[in-house]
Amino acid sequence: MPGSAVRLPVRLTPRGGSDRVEGVVDGVLRARVAAPPAEGAANEALVRLLARELGVPRSAVSLVSGATARQKVIAVEGCHREAILARWPGLRV
Protein backbone atom coordinates (compact mmCIF):
# COMPACT_ATOMS: atom_id res chain seq x y z
CA MET A 1 0.00 0.00 0.00
CA PRO A 2 1.50 3.35 -0.97
CA GLY A 3 1.75 5.79 1.89
CA SER A 4 1.76 3.04 4.52
CA ALA A 5 5.40 3.53 5.45
CA VAL A 6 6.34 3.80 9.11
CA ARG A 7 8.57 6.80 9.81
CA LEU A 8 11.16 6.71 12.54
CA PRO A 9 13.64 9.27 13.87
CA VAL A 10 17.29 8.24 13.81
CA ARG A 11 20.45 9.88 15.14
CA LEU A 12 23.37 8.62 13.07
CA THR A 13 27.03 8.62 14.03
CA PRO A 14 29.21 8.13 10.93
CA ARG A 15 32.72 6.69 11.26
CA GLY A 16 31.43 4.89 14.36
CA GLY A 17 33.69 1.85 14.07
CA SER A 18 31.06 -0.69 13.04
CA ASP A 19 27.51 -0.80 11.74
CA ARG A 20 25.15 -1.25 14.68
CA VAL A 21 21.99 0.02 16.34
CA GLU A 22 22.76 1.20 19.87
CA GLY A 23 19.18 1.53 21.12
CA VAL A 24 16.60 4.21 21.79
CA VAL A 25 17.36 7.45 23.64
CA ASP A 26 14.58 10.00 24.21
CA GLY A 27 12.40 8.33 21.56
CA VAL A 28 15.12 8.47 18.88
CA LEU A 29 16.90 5.42 17.49
CA ARG A 30 20.69 5.72 17.85
CA ALA A 31 22.82 4.06 15.18
CA ARG A 32 26.50 3.96 14.21
CA VAL A 33 28.03 3.12 10.86
CA ALA A 34 31.66 2.67 9.86
CA ALA A 35 31.21 4.65 6.63
CA PRO A 36 32.24 8.32 6.42
CA PRO A 37 29.60 11.00 5.84
CA ALA A 38 30.98 11.76 2.36
CA GLU A 39 28.98 11.25 -0.83
CA GLY A 40 26.05 9.64 0.98
CA ALA A 41 28.08 6.62 2.13
CA ALA A 42 26.91 6.86 5.75
CA ASN A 43 23.27 7.27 4.71
CA GLU A 44 23.50 4.21 2.45
CA ALA A 45 25.11 2.20 5.25
CA LEU A 46 22.30 3.26 7.60
CA VAL A 47 19.63 2.17 5.13
CA ARG A 48 21.34 -1.23 4.69
CA LEU A 49 21.70 -1.61 8.47
CA LEU A 50 18.04 -0.87 9.19
CA ALA A 51 16.85 -3.14 6.38
CA ARG A 52 18.94 -5.98 7.82
CA GLU A 53 17.79 -5.30 11.41
CA LEU A 54 14.11 -5.24 10.41
CA GLY A 55 14.28 -8.12 7.93
CA VAL A 56 12.96 -6.11 5.00
CA PRO A 57 14.46 -5.58 1.53
CA ARG A 58 16.88 -2.67 1.11
CA SER A 59 14.37 -1.07 -1.27
CA ALA A 60 11.77 -0.91 1.55
CA VAL A 61 13.90 1.53 3.59
CA SER A 62 14.38 5.12 2.48
CA LEU A 63 15.76 8.38 3.81
CA VAL A 64 12.97 10.96 4.11
CA SER A 65 14.90 13.89 5.56
CA GLY A 66 18.23 14.79 7.10
CA ALA A 67 20.58 13.72 4.29
CA THR A 68 23.34 16.02 5.56
CA ALA A 69 22.43 16.05 9.27
CA ARG A 70 22.93 13.60 12.12
CA GLN A 71 19.18 13.66 12.85
CA LYS A 72 17.31 11.79 10.12
CA VAL A 73 13.84 10.51 9.37
CA ILE A 74 13.68 7.05 7.82
CA ALA A 75 10.62 5.49 6.16
CA VAL A 76 10.14 1.72 6.25
CA GLU A 77 7.64 0.00 3.93
CA GLY A 78 6.28 -3.47 4.63
CA CYS A 79 6.94 -3.47 8.36
CA HIS A 80 4.20 -2.85 10.91
CA ARG A 81 4.54 -0.14 13.53
CA GLU A 82 3.98 -2.74 16.28
CA ALA A 83 6.88 -4.87 15.01
CA ILE A 84 9.23 -1.87 15.10
CA LEU A 85 8.08 -0.92 18.60
CA ALA A 86 8.54 -4.52 19.79
CA ARG A 87 12.13 -4.43 18.53
CA TRP A 88 12.91 -0.92 19.83
CA PRO A 89 10.56 -0.03 22.73
CA GLY A 90 10.19 3.68 23.40
CA LEU A 91 10.81 4.70 19.80
CA ARG A 92 8.66 7.58 18.49
CA VAL A 93 7.02 6.23 15.33
Q: Decide if 68 is inside a domain.
A: yes
Q: What are phi and psi of 38, to 5 degrees?
A: -85, 140
Residue 57 has pLDDT above 70, yes or no: yes
Q: Decide if 93 is inside a domain.
A: no
3-43: pLDDT as tens digits: 579 999 999 999 999 999 999 999 999 999 999 999 999 99
Q: Decide if 1 is inside a domain.
A: no
**What pLDDT score was predicted for residue 1?**
44
Q: Decide if 20 is inside a domain.
A: yes
Total domain count, the chain: 1
Query: What CATH number has the domain bearing residue 15?
Result: 3.30.1200.10
Query: Helix or strand or coil: residue 23?
Result: strand
pLDDT, the chain, mean: 94
Q: Decide if 65 is inside a domain.
A: yes
Q: Decide if 92 is inside a domain.
A: no
Q: Decide if 46 is inside a domain.
A: yes
| Domain membership of residue 55 as a residue range | 6-87
